[in-house]
Amino acid sequence: MSDFRAGDVATFTGEYFSVFGPSGVLVDPTGGVSLTITYGSGGPVVAGPIDYSGATSPTPGQVYRLSTGVFAYDWTIPDSAASGVYVMNWTFTDGPFDTQVPAVENVPVIGGRIAPPATPDIGYWTGTLSNNGVTIPLGAVDNNGIGWALLKVEGWDSAPTVGGVAQRGGDHGGIPSPQYYGPRPITLTVSATAPSQALRDTARAMLQQAVDVDSLGLFVYDEPIPKQALARRSGKIPETYPTLTSVDFSVLLIAPDPRKYGTQTRTVTASVTAPSLGIAAPLTAPITLPAQPPPGSATVENGGNFETRPVVTISGPIDGPALYNQTAGRVVSFSTLNLAASDVLTVDFANRIADLNGALRVADLSSAWWTLPPGETQIVLQGAAAAGAQMTITYQDAWM
Question: What is the pLDDT, as a whole number, of residue 116?
Answer: 61
Per-residue pLDDT reduced to its tens digit, 151-194:
999 999 999 999 989 999 999 999 999 999 999 999 999 999 99
| pLDDT in the model for residue 42 | 81
Q: Give pLDDT, residue 95.
A: 84
Q: Pick the more confident residue, 279 or 154.
A: 154
pLDDT digits (tens, 9 = 90+) for 147-156: 999 999 999 9
Q: What is the pTM of this model?
A: 0.68
Confidence of residue 80 (pLDDT cuts 50, 70, 90): confident
pLDDT in tens, 18-60: 877 677 789 899 889 999 999 888 888 999 899 999 999 998 8
Q: Nearest to residue 398, comparing CAs of 216, 264, 252, 269?
A: 264
pLDDT (0 to 100) of residue 91: 93
Q: What is the pLDDT of residue 391?
A: 96
| pLDDT for position 284 | 45
Q: What is the per-residue pLDDT for 2?
A: 63
Using CB atoms within 10 A of its CB, is residue 10 exposed (0-12), middle (13-18) or buried (19+)? Answer: middle
Q: What does the buried/exposed string (b/e) look like for 52-83 if buried means 16 or more CB atoms within 10 Å of the residue's CB?
A: beebeeeeeebbbbeeebebbbebebeeebee
> Residue 282 pLDDT more than 50?
no
Residue 202: Cβ-neighbour burial (10 angstroms; 0-12, 13-18, 19+): middle
pLDDT in tens, 235-278: 999 999 988 889 999 999 999 999 999 999 999 999 886 443 33
118 — pLDDT class (breaks 50, 70, 90) = low
- Can you tell me the distance from the alpha carbon of 332 to that of 36, in angstroms, rounded to the nearest whole number? 87
Q: Alpha-carbon torsion 251, 255, 260, 262, what sign? A: negative
Torsion of CA 241, 247, 253, 258, to 10 degrees: -130
φ, ψ (nearest 5 deg) of residue 357: 55, 35
CATH 3.40.30 assigned to domain 127-156+181-259? The reply is no
- DSSP letter string, 46-104: EEEEEEB-S--S--TTSBEEEETTEEEEEEE--TTPPSEEEEEEEEEEETTTTEEEEEE
More confident residue, 346 or 281: 346
* pLDDT tens digits, one per residue of 343-379: 999 999 999 999 999 999 999 999 999 999 999 999 9
Do 280 and 252 touch, CB atoms closer than 8 A?
no
- Map out the domains of the chain as residue ranges: 4-110, 127-156+181-259, 266-276+294-399
Predicted pLDDT at 162? 93
Alpha carbons 89 and 110: distance in angstroms, whole number: 19
Write the pLDDT tens digit of every residue in 197-213: 889 999 999 999 999 99
Q: How far is CA 289 from the centre of its chain?
A: 55
Distance CA 252, CA 241 (A): 18
Task: Decide if 289 contacts 277 (C-beta within 8 A).
Answer: yes
What CATH code would you report for 4-110? Answer: 2.60.40
What's the pLDDT band for 111 if we cut at 50, 70, 90? confident
Going by C-beta distance under 8 Å and a sequence separation of 6 or more, which residues neighbour residue 92? 14, 16, 29, 31, 32, 33, 100, 101, 102, 103
Q: Which amino acid is at 318?
A: I
**113-127, 203-217, 293-307: range with highest mean pLDDT:** 203-217
Q: What is the pLDDT of residue 353?
A: 96
User: Domain 266-276+294-399 falls in which CATH fold?
Assistant: Jelly Rolls (2.60.120)
Three-class SS state of 273 = coil
Residue 109: the pLDDT is 86
Over residues 313-345, the pLDDT tens digits come to 999 999 999 999 999 999 999 999 999 999 999
Q: How confident is the model at residue 281 (pLDDT cuts 50, 70, 90)?
A: very low
pLDDT at 383: 92
Task: Give the model's pLDDT for residue 159.
Answer: 94
C-alpha of 354 from chain center: 34
Residue 115 has pLDDT above 70, yes or no: no
